[in-house]
Amino acid sequence: MFQLNALFFYATIAIVLNAIPSGSEDPSRFVCRLQDPPNQCGEFCLTALMPLIDHIAKHQEQWKTCNLDNGLTKAKLEEIQGRQTDIRKQIESQEPSLTKSWKKIISEDIGDRINRMESKQLKMEGLLSGIQEAVTSIKNDIRRWRISQKFKLIGSKYLYIENDFKANWTTALSACKQMGGNLASISDGDDFNAIVSKLNQNESYKIGINDLAEKYVFISVSSGKKAPFLKWKPGEPRYNHEDQRCVTIHNGGMWVDGCTAFHKFICEADDNTL
């Protein structure tokens, strides 16, 4: 097997070397030079290689023909190149004005578009702020309506008197806040009398005044300032215990009571201009 392969290999090299042309030699060189093919490299070798050799020879022939045509091709090439140069010159001569008009078209278009977009955006912003105003106004209306369902005008303020359940200071405060208000403060004697007239006898009502921060300094929780009006019962404020720092109304007068004590309470609306 090895011997057969080796024979095939050397035969191939020999034939191919003979077939390679050098320079402008006679095309007849590209014909297989095996004098006695069957004996020189065997039947198989010949059958396998002859098409290859013929193929190479054919290409060489074509190259030669091509070279013969070179004069003609060159003229054609030169003609094409000439035309290309002409076209390039034409384009170059028109380029400045073309560029100018393109720029004009593009800039006008984009400018228009931007203007249109800006005016649309302005319209949308206008609409949006209109909607926002409407939403705010509706929210306020709802808030006012909800408050007005709870709070009634007593004296100069909208108040809610809780008679149904009792609470300590913290729970009463958070209940008032949940309604949209605060524990009530008293502005003056007229308001105080108006409130007292609505309260049940013998009941204690927590209001939004305490001296938790500093003893004897009574602060309104809604304003954070000193309470503008106080009407003590005789002997008050009297501290039976140190935690009696929350002001309570009882039978037309005020006293200090434990902040943890459970009492009915009075809320005021945040917005008293309902």
Ligand X SMILES: *[C@@H]1O[C@H](CO)[C@@H](O)[C@H](O)[C@H]1NC(C)=O
* Footprint of ligand X (CB under 6 A): 168, 170-171, 201-202, 260
Q: Which tokens go with 236?
A: 């008050």
Shortest distance, position 261 Cβ to ligand X, whole Å? 9
Nearer to ligand X, 17 or 213 (CB): 213
Residue placing its CB nearer to ligand X in the complex, 140 or 260 = 260
Q: Taking the complex as a whole, how short is the minimal distance between the CB of residue 141 and ligand X, in angstroms?
A: 33
Nearer to ligand X among residue 140 and residue 170 (C-beta):
170
Distance of CA 119 to the CA centre of its chain: 24
Q: Is 200 left (phi over 0), alpha (psi -120 to 50) or beta?
A: beta
- Looking at 20-36, list the stretches that DSSP marks H as alpha helix, in order from N- to C-terminal side: none
| Lookup result for tokens 């929350």 | 246
Q: Name the minimum Å distance from CB 189 to ligand X.
A: 24
Among residues 60 and 168, whose Cβ is nearest to ligand X? Answer: 168
Helix axes 37-68 and 2-19, enclosed angle (nearest 10): 30
Q: How many CB atoms lie within 10 A of CB 150?
A: 16
The residues near 259 (Cβ < 8 Å, ≥ 6 apart) are: 168, 169, 170, 210, 212, 243, 244, 245, 246
* Beta carbon nearer to ligand X, 41 or 173: 173
Least distance (Å) between residue 212 CB and ligand X:
11
Please, which residue, 157 or 206, has the CB nearer to ligand X?
Answer: 206
C-beta of 253: minimal distance to ligand X in Å?
14
User: Is the sign of the CA dihedral 223, 226, 230, 236 positive or negative?
Assistant: positive
Q: Least distance from C-beta 172 to ligand X, angstroms?
A: 9
